[in-house]
Amino acid sequence: MRAATIRDGKIVFETHPDPVPGAGELLVHVRGAGLNGADMHQLRGLYPAPAGSPQDIPGMEIAGEVVGHGPGATRFAHGDRVMSIVGGGGQAELITVHERLLIPVPDALDWPEAGGFPEVFTTAYDALFTQAGLSGGERLLVHGGAGGVGTAAIQLGRAVGARVTATVRNPDSRDAVAALGATVIPTEGFAEHGPFDVILELVGAPNLDPDMDALATNGRIAVIGIGGGAHGELNLGKLLVKRARIHGSTLRVRPLEEKALTARLIERHVLPFVAAGTVRVPIAETFPLAETAAAYAYFAAGGKVGKVIVLP
């Protein structure tokens, strides 16, 4: 098979041996594979794939058709449309995935949308609900509302009846984010727009202190990105008085059983919104798999709303 491949910090297009599905695994012909911020870290050597995943083929999410079964795999049939987060190796023509990680693709999603769904919706769902316990009527602040996780979080917040505010740095992106249902505010001075019951933090340390100011009593901060810095000052006095909590989370290092449980939560709590059209997957651009390097350059340039997808 052919796959995007990391060679000396660059993306090239190379031929690899076809992967062979092991026990409980399916062989999937990839039809769409999204790019994510973490791909950029991995390309720079800062975020290696977990053990057991291809180290040199990037890609943390896929959608495609089942084309082969490993021993004991029974959950899907040949030709079924499936999607999943994966430890790595997604930006390729073929990939093996444990069947418990796979989610059926609703008819409402075409291949680019399905390929861009798993990572950002799983990340947003896990942070907002499993961790921060967001529920109807609450006030949600999404930092980085124009990003992939941001657009997913805004829609999920709206779908459950939360009141959603989002910071957006690029003025050109504000209308598109507002169209998703968020009240859009600038990054500077966001704390004045609080209080918020839940804050989805994708920037990191620079926001930690103003996040505490913006938080309501019994508020929760879910930290899922630290691109702006990892070391920040936390005022524990504010944490105490507000009876607040701060969560950290990352999906990639979790063991199989935790990832599989998360996949079941997505099937139960998010796919109905997809089927109903309540949430959608905004697509910024698609590229053929052979042009994955160009897709990375496009992604890294920023300024878009929506996912960047490669299509094998």
Binding residues vs a copy of itself (CB under 8 A): 131, 204-205, 208, 223-224, 226, 229-250, 253-254
- Shortest CB 257 distance to a copy of itself, Å: 13
Shortest distance in whole angstroms from residue 265 CB to a copy of itself? 16
| CA geometry: angle 307, 4, 20, nearest 5 deg | 110
Q: Give the distance from CA 272 to its chain's centroid.
A: 18
> For residue 142, what is the DSSP state?
E
CB of 204 to a copy of itself, least distance (A): 6
Cα angle for residues 55, 56, 62 (degrees, 5° grid): 85
Q: Which residues pair with 28 in a beta bridge?
A: 66, 95
If the CB atoms of residues 234 and 256 are measured against a copy of itself, the closer one turns out to be 234
The minimum distance between CB 151 and a copy of itself, in angstroms, equals 21
Do residues 24 and 70 touch, judged by C-beta distance below 8 A?
yes
Give the gyration radius of the chain's Cα atoms. Answer: 19
Q: What is the DSSP letter of 71?
A: T
> Angle at CA 207, nearest 5°, toward 205 and 213?
130
Nearer Cβ to a copy of itself (23/253):
253
Residue with tokens 């805004």: 154
Closest contact distance (angstroms) between CB of 241 and a copy of itself is: 7
- The distance in angstroms from the start CA to the end CA of the chain is 10
Q: Which is nearer to a copy of itself, 52 or 277 (CB)?
A: 52
- Of 104 and 195, nearer to a copy of itself (C-beta) is 195
Closer by beta carbon to a copy of itself, 240 or else 301: 240
